[in-house]
Amino acid sequence: MVPRRAGAILCTATWCRRCRGNEMDGATLEVEDVAMTAVYLASDEARLVSGHNLVVDGGFTIGKLAGKVAVITGGASGIGKAAAAEFVANGAKVIIADVQDELGHAVAAELGHDVAEYTRCDVADESQVAAAVELALARHGVRVNAVSPHGVATPLAVSGFRGLFPAASEEELRWFIEEGMNELDGEKLEAEDIARAAVYLASDEAKYVTGHNLVVDGGFTVVRRFLNMSSITEGNRINMSRIEVS
């Protein structure tokens, strides 16, 4: 009598042979490849394989940043935290550099200490920044790029605008950041958008991009419209019913 084994799961890439989703040059996933993998899972050769998800995708799910290490400044919260999560999801290991020790250690633990490490770093101190980079790099060539985001309603940004509008409510401050300064109707800039832009710059897709400042602002600096602050403020409050630009 053959003992029953718990089922094993087979996950495959679903690309056709002409798709660009293939990570393996010179190899194409065929239905026979998936069939042979399923036969293996059902055979005695895999008798000790149980409850396993065997992924047949040519390395696609490993991520575009596999083997890379990134230093994420401000990685303990807000945009930096989202960037750290996005980098890890794409296969990178991250050094979370921040001055918020408790939050930084918590984010590293949440992402997993095998892929994330926290180090205290004040970006105003060049020596601390250099130390964080040294922690991540071991004499490798480096591409240096920057991402310049428009307003994202992170707790830090909301707190900053509260200094300009002390009587404004939380809802008014978030509206001002997300909509009052927004050039793209129907779209809202989120921390994940900035994180994905950073992932692109760190990936091999941007292997020849260096010394570049990628502006993620929905066209704000291209249109160069300037807010008429007097039109949307009443004293130290924000009037969400009207906004004028020039």
Q: Looking at 19-33, 105-119, 219-233, which range is the least confident one?
A: 219-233
Euclidean distance between CA atoms 164 and 181, whole angstroms = 15
Helices of type H across 2-125: 31-42, 78-89, 101-111
Q: Tell me what pLDDT residue 3 has.
A: 40
Which amino acid makes up residue 209? V
Q: Tell me what pLDDT residue 181 has.
A: 82
Average pLDDT over residues 13-24: 48
Q: Tell me what pLDDT residue 62 has.
A: 64
Provide the residue ranges of all domains of the chain, joining segments of one domain with +.
9-62, 69-142, 148-187+211-246
Q: Tell me what pLDDT residue 51 has.
A: 64
Q: Tell me what pLDDT residue 66 has.
A: 84
Average pLDDT over residues 150-165: 89
Mean pLDDT score of the chain: 79
Euclidean distance between CA atoms 199 and 73, whole angstroms = 14
| Class of the CATH domain delimited by 69-142 | alpha beta
Q: First CA to last CA across the chain, in angstroms?
A: 82
Per-residue model confidence as pLDDT tens digits over 193-226: 999 999 999 988 888 888 888 989 888 887 765 5
pLDDT above 80 (res 80): yes
Q: Tell me what pLDDT residue 109 has.
A: 97
Q: Tell me what pLDDT residue 187 has.
A: 85
